[in-house]
Amino acid sequence: MFERKPPIRSTQEDVVELAEDIDRFVIGLGESVDAIQDAELAQKLAEVAVLACTLSSNADRLGYPGLAMSAKGVAMAAEVADGEEDLQETILELTDLAHRVRQGHRGAA
DSSP letter, residue 16: G
Residue 8 domain flag: no
What pLDDT does residue 1 have?
Answer: 52
Q: Which residue type is seen at 48?
A: V
Q: What's the total number of domains in the chain? A: 1
Q: How confident is the model at residue 2 (pLDDT cuts 50, 70, 90)?
A: low
Q: Is residue 88 part of a domain?
A: yes
Q: Looking at the domain assignment, is residue 94 inside a domain?
A: yes
Task: Report helix, strand and coil shares of the chain as percent, to nearest 5.
Answer: 75, 0, 25
Domain that holds residue 52: 16-103
Burial class (CB in 10 A: 0-12, 13-18, 19+), 99: middle
In this predicted model, what pLDDT tens digit does every residue of 60-108 receive, in sequence order?
A: 999 999 999 999 999 999 998 665 778 999 999 999 999 999 999 865 5
Measure the CA–CA gap between 1 and 12, rounded to whole angstroms: 33
The domain that holds 97 is classified in CATH as: 1.20.120
Compute the mean pLDDT over every residue in the chain, rounded to the nearest whole number.
92
